[in-house]
Amino acid sequence: MFVIELTYIQPLSIVDNFVSEHRAFLERHYATGQFLLSGRKEPRTGGFILANTASREALESILQGDPFQREGIARYTVTEFLPSMAAADLQGLLTN
């Protein structure tokens, strides 16, 4: 599982031009089960995505399709983690 932190490196006026395309990108990967949660930071300086992909390489390939990456709008920090505890509704995500 991976946490992806996006940090905007362009002004919000540019970010806003690509939000609808970014949301469509997110929706495609929610439909495949690869993305589990996402949302923006407060204050609005970027966002987070919780992803469940087969490998970091697979995730990196997916992120290449994000318009925020393509247009140089955000910097990405990817952190892999292995969940060992979860709320009852999320027990199916545990790796151990």
Residue 80 has pLDDT above 80, yes or no: yes
pLDDT of 96 reads 52
Residue 90 has pLDDT above 90, yes or no: no
Stated pTM of the model: 0.91
Q: Which CATH number is 9-44+51-93's, of 3.30.70, 3.30.1280, 3.10.180, 3.30.160?
A: 3.30.70
pLDDT of 47 reads 98
Count Cβ neighbours within 10 Å for each residue of 63-77 and write b for 16 or more, e otherwise: beebbbbeeebbebe
Tens-digit pLDDT profile for residues 8-65: 999 999 999 999 999 999 999 999 999 999 999 999 999 999 999 999 999 999 999 9
Q: Is 54 exposed, middle or buried (0-12, 13-18, 19+ CB in 10 A)?
A: exposed
Residue 95 has pLDDT above 70, yes or no: no
